[in-house]
Amino acid sequence: MASIKDVAGLAGVSVATVSRVLNDKGYVGQSTRENVEKAIKQLNYKPNEVARSLFKKKSNTIGLIVPDIMNPFFTELARAVEDKATKSGYTIILCNSDGNIDKEKSYLDVLRQNYVNGIIVSSNTLTAAQVKELNIPVVSIDREISKGLPTIVAENNKGAIIATRFLQSKGCKKIGHIRGTHGVANAEERFNGYKEVVSGEPWYDDSFIVNGNFDMQSSIEATKELLTRHPDIDGIFAANDIMAIGAIKVAYQLGMKVPEELKIIGFDGITLSTVLTPELTTIVQPIYELGEKATTMLVHLMEQQPLEKTYYKLDVELIERNST
Amino acid sequence: MASIKDVAGLAGVSVATVSRVLNDKGYVGQSTRENVEKAIKQLNYKPNEVARSLFKKKSNTIGLIVPDIMNPFFTELARAVEDKATKSGYTIILCNSDGNIDKEKSYLDVLRQNYVNGIIVSSNTLTAAQVKELNIPVVSIDREISKGLPTIVAENNKGAIIATRFLQSKGCKKIGHIRGTHGVANAEERFNGYKEVVSGEPWYDDSFIVNGNFDMQSSIEATKELLTRHPDIDGIFAANDIMAIGAIKVAYQLGMKVPEELKIIGFDGITLSTVLTPELTTIVQPIYELGEKATTMLVHLMEQQPLEKTYYKLDVELIERNST
DNA sequence: TTGAAAGCGTTACCAT
DNA sequence: ATGGTAACGCTTTCAA
């Protein structure tokens, strides 16, 4: 692999000059520039990013920490981040934390040691102090680490309210809720939205809530439990789509017709929700936009450009399909 | 961020000594070692990976180039690769190529400039020459770039034969095929498997084959076309699960009952195939294992350990569910 | 307009 | 057993 020295040698100039044309910085004579460019082409020279990084203390790299890329929500997010990052000249390091704080910390170390320019993270265990101490721009996505930290989330509470009210408007008399993972802020918010709507109802009590972990398996068990407790439930709001899909499966197994006997609504708007039969009614958040905007914010932060806002709460939208 | 110099200063030794204890290389006295370790702890020192990379000409990083992480097959693959890589001390750089050769080449440049130790790639456009010239260990996954290059694929042909025969055994009289993307080797192999089984049949001709692009949209159109041409088709073998799902949707829209009137089988065994109703019968390939094994191979290559085999063809398995 | 040289944080060779 | 130092490939300051 040719180095800057080779280019300098071939062009008959010093490495400093080559560096100048490379970075378009400082004075370079017209003919010198052309010579250098010729040499670069001839050697197919590409600057060594590692050496650059060492000097600059930046590696043109963004760390992306998500719980699990297998969760379709994060898959789409990752794709958005990668697209935007590439366009801005950054490269993505992918980190799956499984929501495990030790993995998160260890990734944080690795990223810092690699001079990443910035980090996009979705975590509920990380504290503001840990982030501050990194001394690297960080934007938090889908989950709020602390007020003050650049954050981008969706209207979780509002979405939950819309979802629950919608079930009511469809004639549901008793509505259960499958909660998201405990300790995750967005699960909390969605839960609260649900509660806000139904807590005044005469039939309502805590037994209409079951716990899931934002995954299918937990949802299947939770739904069984819920329907055993309350066979007369006619509506379920699940805190995300995957769990809603699990609920549909259970209903199916139990011989309950969706949506005739039981209406089910989810949250997220993952692509999967349109491929099922019945297609899932859900509160869609703009996932791709979430990732894109997060990256834009981070790029601004990394390049010390001013940030319009440090906190975005993106709107959600009810999409009615066949599960209600 | 503390550097090796700070550690050396605090411990009252030279940087060379610190480096020795860091890497457990060369002689270092017991008490000196302890002093250094104490200093390291005290400063919470972590070696600068960029500086290391510059010297070693390796960055402990693996590039993963896939067409699109949004394709569930590659999502699972990516997860497997990341898991295994992390365990082996490597970090993943994620690259979505969209099957676009320019993006692939540009990523290849970026990866080389970043001193990645190795690359895992799924591509049909890359040539053996381009890979060779990189001078970096590469393993090709899911698609064969050239004999000779380390490769890991699944039994595509065999799987297709099993799938088609299975439809026959279920009583299908006329079986159509939704092809995968033209130019992609595994699509070719699956197609050939299908052809092998049905080409002797009296009813068979080319009109029973329609073209898809391994995605849902193309499959929906292809299926419509196929069923218009041959309303009496009673079996469809789709070259992957996503397309099979698309086919099910179309059948549904057209009022054909699956599996009663039309049996559909896919290929891949993505997680999604179990969440649908009806659950999809499919030829499952061991996706996670594919990714894991590819990474293991790559690690061996990168660390100059001998490779047992340079070519793996992993077995596939028919899983019968409700779409047949 | 150009070049020499220091420095980024490591590692490894050669002395001692 | 330990230290000095060149080298990895680049950028930037300072001088010329």
Q: DSSP assignment of B173-208, as one string?
A: SSEEEEE--TT-HHHHHHHHHHHHHHTTSTT--GGG
- Rounded distance between C-alpha atoms, residue A237 and residue B71, angstroms: 28
Are residues A115 and B50, on separate chains, in Cβ contact within 8 Å? yes
CB contact burial B255-293 (16+ within 10 A = b; e otherwise): ebebbeebbbbbbbbbbbbebbbbebbbbbbbbeebbbb
Mean pLDDT of A311-320: 97
Residue B204 has phi, psi (to 5 degrees) of -75, 135
pLDDT at A143: 93
Question: CB-based burial of residue A202 (10 Å sphere; 0-12 exposed, 13-18 middle, 19+ buried)?
Answer: exposed
Helix (H) / strand (E) element for B18: namely helix B15-23
Which is nearest to A323 in space by CA: A285, A267, A282?
A282
Provide, in whole angstroms, the distance separating residue A26's CA from nucleotide D13's C1'.
12
Q: Does B55 touch chain A (CB under 8 A)?
A: no
Between the CA of A27 and the C1' of C3, what is the distance in angstroms? 13
Q: Which two three-digit tokens encode residue A293?
A: 């905007």
- Write the DSSP string, B199-238: TTSTT--GGGEEE--SSHHHHHHHHHHHHHH-TT--EEEE
Model pLDDT, residue B136: 97
pLDDT of residue B148: 86
CATH class of the structural domain A61-154+287-316 = alpha beta
Q: Which of A53, A110, A277 sits opposite B91 (nearest CB)?
A: A110
Omega before A137 within 30 of 0, i.e. cis: no
Q: Using the beta-carbon criterion (under 8 Å), do A1 and B112 form an inter-chain contact?
A: yes
In this complex, the answer to whether residue B60 has its CB under 7 A from any atom of chain C, a nucleic strand, is: no
pTM score, two decimals?
0.95
| Residue B15 CA, nucleotide C12 C1', distance (Å) | 12
Kindly list the residues from chain A whose CB atom is less than 8 angstroms away from the CB atom of residue B76: 70
Interface touch A93/B93, C-beta < 8 Å:
yes
Per-residue DSSP letter, B64? E
Mean pLDDT, residues A33-51: 98
* Nearest by CB: B50 against A50, A83, A275: A50
What residues of chain A lie within 8 A of the CB of B51, using their CB?
A: 54
* Contact yes or no for B105/B133 (Cβ under 8 A): no
CATH 3.40.50.12160 is held by the domain B156-284 = no
Asked if the C-beta of A91 comes within 8 angstroms of chain B's C-beta atoms, the answer is: yes
Res A97: pLDDT: 97
Q: Which residues contact B34 (CB under 8 A, 6 or more apart)?
A: none
Residue A247 has pLDDT above 90, yes or no: yes
CA diameter of chain B: 87
Nearest-CB residue to B113 (from A48, A92, A115): A48
Bridge partners of A237, per DSSP, are A177, A265
Contacts of A294 (CB under 8 A, 6+ apart): A81, A120, A139, A141, A152
Where exactly are the structural domains of chain A? 4-47, 61-154+287-316, 156-284
CA–CA dist A17, A41 (Å, integer) = 16
Q: What is the mean pLDDT of residues A109-118?
A: 98
Residue A277 predicted with pLDDT over 90: no
The verdict on B258 touching A (C-beta cutoff 8 Å) is no
Asked if the Cβ–Cβ distance from B82 to A91 is below 8 Å, we say no
Count of positions (residues) in chain B: 324
Residue of least CA–C1' distance to C2 = A17
pLDDT one digit per residue (tens) for chain B, 324 residues: 899 999 999 999 999 999 999 999 999 999 999 999 999 999 999 999 999 999 999 999 999 999 999 999 999 999 999 999 999 999 999 999 999 999 999 999 999 999 999 999 999 899 999 999 999 999 999 998 888 899 999 999 999 999 999 999 999 999 999 999 998 999 999 999 999 999 999 999 999 999 999 999 999 999 999 999 999 999 999 999 999 999 999 998 899 999 999 999 999 999 888 888 789 999 999 999 999 999 999 999 999 999 999 999 999 999 999 999
Residue A235's SS3 state is strand
In whole numbers, what is the pLDDT of chain A averaged over residues?
Answer: 96
Q: How confident is the model at residue B205, as a pLDDT? A: 95
- Interchain pair B46, A79: CB under 8 A: no
B54 touches strand C (CB under 7 A): yes
How high is the pLDDT of residue B275?
A: 82
Supply A125's token pair: 């265990």
CA A55 to C1' C6 (Å) is 12
Fold designation for B4-47: 434 Repressor (Amino-terminal Domain) (1.10.260)
Interface membership of A51 toward B (CB under 8 Å): yes
For A288, counting Cβ atoms within 10 Å of its Cβ (0-12 exposed, 13-18 middle, 19+ buried), the class is middle
Q: What is the pLDDT of residue A148?
A: 86
- Say if B276 is an interface residue toward chain A (CB within 8 Å): yes
Which of B88, B92, B277 to mutate: most A Cβ within 10 Å? B277
Measuring alpha carbon to C1', the residue closest to nucleotide D13 is A16
CB-CB under 8 Å, A1 with B70: no
Provide CB contacts within 8 A for B68, sequence distance 6+.
Answer: A79, B74, B96, B97, B98, B99
Q: Which residues of A touch B61 (CB under 8 A)?
A: 93
CA angle B93, A49, A77 (to 5 degrees): 30
Q: What is the pLDDT of residue A209?
A: 98
The confidence score (pLDDT) of residue A276 equals: 82
Q: State yes or no: pLDDT of A208 exceeds 90.
A: yes
Question: What CA–CA distance (Å, rounded) separates A274 from B113?
Answer: 41
Could you say which residues 171-200 of protein chain A have a Cβ atom less than 7 A away from any atom in strand C?
A: none
Domains B4-47 and B156-284 alike in fold? no
**Does residue A152 register a pLDDT over 90?**
yes
The answer to whether residues A302 and A118 touch, using CB atoms and an 8 Å cutoff, is yes
Q: What is the DSSP letter of B280?
A: P
| CB within 7 A of strand D (chain A, 236-295) | none
Positive or negative torsion for Cα A218, A224, A229, A234: positive
